[in-house]
Structure 1
Amino acid sequence: MGRLVPAVTRAFDILELFLDEDAALSAPDIVRRTQLPRTTAHELLATLVTRGYLAQDPAGHYALGVRVYQLGSRYAEQLDLAAEGQQVARQVADACGETVHVAILEGTDVIYIAKVDSTHAVRMVSAAGRRLPAHCTAVGKMLLASLPEDELRALLPTDVPLAALTQQSITDPAALHTALAEIRARGTASENRESNPDVSCVAAPVRDETGRVVAALSISAPTIRWDDNRHAELERLAATGAGNLSARLGHRQAAP
C-alpha cells in the first residue's frame, strides 16, 4: 500500500463529517471536530468549495456541494443489483452451507436474480430467473410486507383466493395480510414448506440508498436440516447478508 497523502486525508476527514450531519457546519465546528489547525482547515475548505465538493452559504456555513452528488450518482449508475447480490449470496452461502437467493418483486410474483447452491447433497433445486407466486415464498412475503397498504390491497384483494403450491401454502387473503403485518413487525419473513413440501426458508429485506426495499435475500434448507435453532441461526445470517447487500447499494442504517 502506498503512502497516504496527509492533505488528501484531511480533506476527506472534512467531507466525512457531513455523513452524520443534517445541518450545515461552520468553520469553527469543522476545526473543533477535525482538530485541524485553523489555517489548514480554512485552506482545505476554500479548495473544496472551489472544486464544488462543498458549498458555502452567505452566513459562512458549509454543506455538501453538487460535485459530491454527481460522484454519488455516477457510482449508483454503476451498481448492478444482480451482480452485487451474487457476491453477497456467495458470502452467506459460504457461512451457512445452504442455498441462498436474492429476489425482486414483479406484480404478484418474485423473480430470483441471484442464487448460490448449497454444498450439501440434499438441497433445494432452483435457478436464477425462476418465477414463483410471492405469497408462497419467504422472499415474496418479505417484499409484499414492504409495500404500502393501499398498493398491497390493490395487488392482492382480500376477496380473491390465492393459488397454492403445496398444502402448506397460504390461500386465504386475510390470513396472508395478517402474516404480512407480523413480518413488518419482526423485520424478517419465513415460510415452512409453502413453496416446496420439503424446504423451509427465511428472508430479510434489501434496501437502496433511499431506504426503499428493492429486493430480499433468503436462505433455504431442507426440512431434515431445519429446527428452531437452525431457523434462528439462518434468520440472523439472512439479516446480516441483506444488510451487507443494502450497504453495497448505498443504504446507511440509521443510528440507534
Structure 2
Amino acid sequence: MPTIPAARNALGILRYLGERAAPARASSIARDLALPRSSVYQLLRVLMDEGFVIHYPEHRTYGPSTLMAELGAAPRRSAQLARLAAPLLERLVPRAPLPVVAHLALLSGADVIYLARVQGFRAPTTVTNTGVRLPAHLTATGRSLLAALPPGQVRALYPDRGSLIRRNQRGPRTLAQLEGILAETRERGWAREDGEITEDYASAGATALDTTGYPAAAIGLTFRSTAASASHWDALGDAVVTTAREVTARLAGRH
C-alpha cells in the first residue's frame, strides 16, 4: 500500500471533523491525531483553500464545509449554516441604522425556511422565527435566493405560472411579474419587500453563495417600513450584501 503521509493526515483530519458534533480547535486535532501542530495548521490551510474545511474565527475552531455536509443529512447542513452565520447576524444588528431583526434563510423548493434569528433593541416582532416557512417569492431573502438561480430553475419551481400565492393583496400575481422583480433584484444587488408578508413591515435581503456559486442561504433584515427613509433602505441593502459576502467567504474557507 502506498504511503503518502500528507494525504493520509489530511483525510484523517476530514474524518475527525466529520465525526464530531461541533467544530474543533487545531490543538485538539493535533493532540487526538498525534500530529505536529504545525502540520495540522498547514493541512487545515490547504483544506480551507480547497473548500473542504471552514474556520470559525470567533471560537478558533474548524469544521467540515458544505462540500462535506452534502454527504450527510440536510439538518446537519442547516445547523452548520446557522452556526457559521450566527456571529455575523449578532454583529449586523447593532450596525443597522434603525431597529431591525436579522435572519438567515434557506431555500426549500418554492419556500424559504428560517434557520437563525437575532432581534435588535426595540425591533419589531416578526413571523420569521426559526423553523418558519414562507413563500420565497414574497420575502426579501427568498427573492435574493431566487435571483441567484438559473431562470430555468425558477420556472420549474413555479409550474402554475398564472396564480402565485399572495398575502395582504400584495406581491407578484404571475411568474412574469416575479421574473421582473428578480431582474430588478439582480440589477440592484439585493432584494426588498414592503408589506408583502406583514403590513407596515419591510425587509432587505442578500444571498451567500457556496463554493460552486450556488445560493447557499440568505441574510435578511426586517424593520418597520414607516421608519425607513430612502437612505435607510440603501444602508440596509449595503449591510445585508456585506454580511452575505462574509458568509460566502467563510463557506469558501476564507477569513
Classify the TM-score, shorter chain.
0.5 to 0.7
Contact conserved, 1:124 with 1:222, CA < 8 A, in 2? no
Q: C-alpha displacement at 1:120, in angstroms?
A: 0.8
Aligned to 1:150, which of 129, 149, 152?
Answer: 152
1:202 alignment partner, SS class: strand
Contact conserved, 2:110 with 2:136, CA < 8 A, in 1? yes
Contact conserved, 2:111 with 2:136, CA < 8 A, in 1? yes
**5+ unaligned residues in a row in structure 1: which ranges?**
1-50, 55-64
TM-aligned CA distance change 1:231 to 1:159, over 3 Å = same
Contact conserved, 2:137 with 2:143, CA < 8 A, in 1? yes
TM-aligned CA distance change 1:158 to 1:125, over 3 Å = closer
Contact conserved, 1:202 with 1:219, CA < 8 A, in 2? yes
Q: Does 1:73 align with 2:52?
A: yes
| RMSD over aligned Cα atoms | 2.9
1:90 alignment partner, SS class: helix
- The one-character-per-residue Cα deviations of 1:95-123 (angstroms, maximum 9, x if unpaired) are 12410011010000000001101311644
Q: For 1:148-227, list aligned pairs within 5 A.
A: 148-157=150-159, 159-227=161-229
Paired letter, 2:46: V
Q: Match for residue 83 of structure 1?
A: 83
**What is the distance in 2 between the residues matched to 1:180 and 1:137?**
12
**What is the distance in 2 between the residues matched to 1:155 and 1:188?**
21
Aligned length: 193
**TM-score (ref. length: structure 2):** 0.68
Q: Match for residue 94 of structure 2?
A: 94
Q: For 1:20-169, list aligned pairs within 5 A.
A: 68-69=46-47, 73-75=52-54, 77=64, 80-96=80-96, 97-120=99-122, 122-157=124-159, 159-169=161-171
TM-aligned CA distance change 1:171 to 1:252, over 3 Å = farther
Q: C-alpha displacement at 1:241, in angstroms?
A: 1.1
**TM-score (ref. length: structure 1):** 0.67
Largest Rg, 1 or 2? 1
Paired letter, 2:192: S
**5+ unaligned residues in a row in structure 2: which ranges?**
1-38, 55-62, 67-79
Paired letter, 2:198: N
Q: C-alpha displacement at 1:125, in angstroms?
A: 4.5
After TM superposition, the structure 1 stretch with the greater mean CA deviation from structure 2, 141-150 or 156-165, is 156-165
Q: C-alpha displacement at 1:190, in angstroms?
A: 0.5
**What is the distance in 1 between the residues matched to 2:106 and 2:191?**
15
Q: Which has the higher contact order (CA 8 A, sep 6+)?
A: 2
Contact conserved, 1:198 with 1:222, CA < 8 A, in 2? yes
